[in-house]
Structure 1
Amino acid sequence: MKLAAALALSISLAASAAGAVPFGKWSEQKFPRLPGNQWSQSPQGVEVRSNGSVSLIWTRLPASDGAATRATWDWSVSESVPGTQLTRKGGDDRNLALYFVFLPQDRAEASRNTSIRKLLRDRDARVLMYVWGGTHARGEVLPTPYLGTRGKTLIRRPAGTGSYQESVDLNADFQRAFGEPKTVLVGLAVSSDSDDTGTSVQARLGGLRLE
């Protein structure tokens, strides 16, 4: 009985871990002439302190995650930037943004060693940015002031504090944002941005899973 129970627990733990995206080794990308955020990573999640600053952390995904169609995560904000207009360049602070970066099948593996800056500039890349911030309503899909036709902002929460769980349909959101079928998921990034308003963010994101 003890062996059977241990085996059942092992299977349960393996199942619960399937699809989990670990933090801990994501790389930080700063921006020229702007101070970076303070990031603290563990395998389960990341905490960020943004104080009149901006930067992101990112990771490439294994090929086995490329066909993911859903994502879930939890996030919390204890200190928030004010609501901003997220379509305005130079005035678009937000508490958190979770980026999903996609490339066509024939480009996905060839870009394996490409940096996040080059990925975001790639004309074939498509980026879904799920955002907590701004003055916009939940569910709105907005153009980004930086990525042009390559990216869309999807509002999950307006600026403010709290703690929430999220679940998104990547297939449906990609189709809605770009009017075409989803391509291959190649990378993820998390950003926080408070440099335009000179305010502060204290936030956490964790429990990230792909299915």
Structure 2
Amino acid sequence: MTLTRSRIMTVFLFAISMSPAHAEPVLFDGSWKEQGFLRLRSNDYELQSSKLDVVSNGTVSILWRALETNHRTARSAKWTWEVREGVIGTDLRRKGGDDRNLAIYFVFTDPETVRALDQTTPRRLLRNHNTHALVYVWGGEHASGSILKSPYHSRMRTLVLRPSSIGYHSEHVDLAADYSAAFGSQIGTLVGVGVSADSDDTGGRVLASIENLELIAD
């Protein structure tokens, strides 16, 4: 059977549309830096390439890394996480009373800002009015699927994947759809990710881990 040029092009475009999305791993290596908070003791983190162990014992901090160019077009993400010991459910809308077992931050900004912005710390990133953050949380007393305004920053939204509990789960999130639902606008360029555990308000303890974090471009 002979294929015409138009038929070949149709088959080619169909094959492209059916090809799987490209996943890029985000390794837990020396690229991550801890961001502590004044007067508060920091968490303990053990970076093990594909796995991160976290211990939070009446402490709080964020482990942060800026992303390379190959990660910045991601529109979804997946990972597995485990909580072996966790804090009680809290009100995640309450400043100073919002402990949680684990949180993963995805920070976005516009292309113009990417070229000029110092991406070394989340605080510097979030000072820019074009920067927004989605924070996926395992913890709190809210129902799964809740989208909450952060009590700390007007351009940050908390998305509750799981209320406070222990266990082991795999997650696959649609960053683009969640960004639209949280902010009512189109997703920006992904420039950084962070991981946190928070137990300073309740005085509890978190023993947890995150494995196989991947960013997926459509």
Name the SS for the 2:126 alignment partner: helix
Identity %: 46
Measured after TM superposition, the shift of residue 18 of structure 1 is 4.8
Name the SS for the 2:34 alignment partner: strand
Greater C-alpha Rg: 2
Runs of 4+ off more than 4 Å: none
- Give yes or no for contact 1:121–1:147 (8 Å, CA) kept in 2: no
- Give yes or no for contact 1:37–1:192 (8 Å, CA) kept in 2: yes
C-alpha distance after superposition, 1:75-105 (max 9, x if no partner): 0000010000000000000000000000011
Q: Structure 2 counterpart of 1:185, which letter? A: L
Name the SS for the 1:176 alignment partner: helix
1:57-136 aligned at under 5 Å gives the runs 57-136=63-142
Q: Structure 1 counterpart of 2:211, which letter? A: G
TM-score of the pair, normalised by structure 2: 0.87
Q: Structure 2 counterpart of 1:53, which letter? A: T
Measured after TM superposition, the shift of residue 63 of structure 1 is 1.7
Q: Distance in 1 between matches of 2:76 and 2:23?
A: 13
Structure 1 pair 115/24, CA: closer, same or farther in 2 (3 Å)? same
Q: Structure 1 counterpart of 2:27, which letter? A: P
Structure 1: unaligned runs, 5 residues or longer: 1-14
Corresponding residue for 2:165?
A: 160
Q: Distance in 2 between matches of 1:106 and 1:18?
A: 25
Q: Distance in 1 between matches of 2:152 and 2:74?
A: 26
Q: Structure 2 counterpart of 1:200, which letter? A: R
Corresponding residue for 1:175?
A: 180
Corresponding residue for 1:3?
A: none
1:137-156 aligned at under 5 Å gives the runs 137-148=143-154, 150-156=155-161
- Report the aligned-residue RMSD: 1.4
Structure 2: unaligned runs, 5 residues or longer: 1-19
1:10-25 aligned at under 5 Å gives the runs 18-25=23-30
